Chain A
């Protein structure tokens, strides 16, 4: 089991891929927050205020702690309708 990270729209294009996966067993730390996951996949420190976060398809904040099997989504402001 691992944590799946998905990207959408302009963020997917910037990342150059639609998803990543983080295996908790391969990390030194015992807990992983959304912020940590962001740093792992992007190499960047802060999550820009223009990036929205959802964990298991529910909006959440960067300090949420993740568990095995979670799906984290990072995306720009939504523009439907």
Chain B
């Protein structure tokens, strides 16, 4: 069943360290204030690992295409809201320099029931990974730096 379009959403691209739990709490307190119709909230937080492809990574630089990023993420939220009965979406993504252990991004979805929240959150994550114009350049402890080739398929088993 096609669901509503233009569901409330907030998409934030930020250049500094953020606390995903704090932002979720603030978002929920302001954007879902006095609402009691949501029965589920699912969120995904992506953190920076200190290893990749067998090497130790000391930091990374995240680049994006500012004019396209917001537009693309908006479209991905629209696609999710066409497929699932979701109520609100909140996406935060870092750009700039990031260190191991720091959160890179967060997707949070609110809906009446858990199935829509789980499935839409997964869809948003995979679409963001494969369609949103962000690129990571890793700085290795060896002193070398390299661009990450491509994102893996999130549905394949590790």
Residues of A within 8 A of B (CB): 6, 8-10, 54, 57-59, 71, 73, 75-81
Number of interface residues of B (CB under 8 A): 28
- Contact across chains for B147 and A10 when beta carbons are under 8 A apart: yes
Interface of B is mostly: mixed
Map CB proximity to A onto B84-105 as digits: 1 under 8 Å, 0 otherwise: 0000000001000000000011
The answer to whether A77 and B137 touch across the interface, beta carbons within 8 angstroms, is no
Is A54's CB under 8 angstroms from B133's CB? yes
- Chain B residues whose C-beta falls within 8 Å of the C-beta of A57 in the assembled complex: 65, 67-68, 71-72
**In the complex, what residues of B have CB within 8 A of residue A10's CB?**
135, 147
Q: Out of A9, A58, A73, A81, name the residue touching B105 (CB < 8 Å).
A: A81
Q: A75-B65, A78-B129 are in contact. List 19 more A-B contacts (CB 8 A).
A: A6-B65, A57-B67, A73-B133, A75-B135, A76-B147, A76-B149, A76-B150, A77-B149, A78-B130, A78-B132, A78-B134, A79-B136, A79-B151, A80-B104, A80-B128, A80-B135, A81-B104, A81-B129, A81-B134
B148, CB-defined interface residue at 8 Å: yes
Q: How far does the Cβ of A15 sit from chain B's closest Cβ, in whole Å? A: 14
List 5 interface pairs A-B (beta carbons < 8 Å), by A numbering: A8-B133, A9-B137, A73-B68, A75-B65, A81-B129
Which residues of chain A are near B104, meaning CB under 8 Å? 80-81
Q: Name the contact of B134 in the complex, choosing from A58, A71, A73, A79 (C-beta under 8 A).
A: A79
Expressed in whole angstroms, the minimum distance between the Cβ of A37 and any Cβ of chain B is: 17
CA distance A10 to B132 in the complex (A): 16
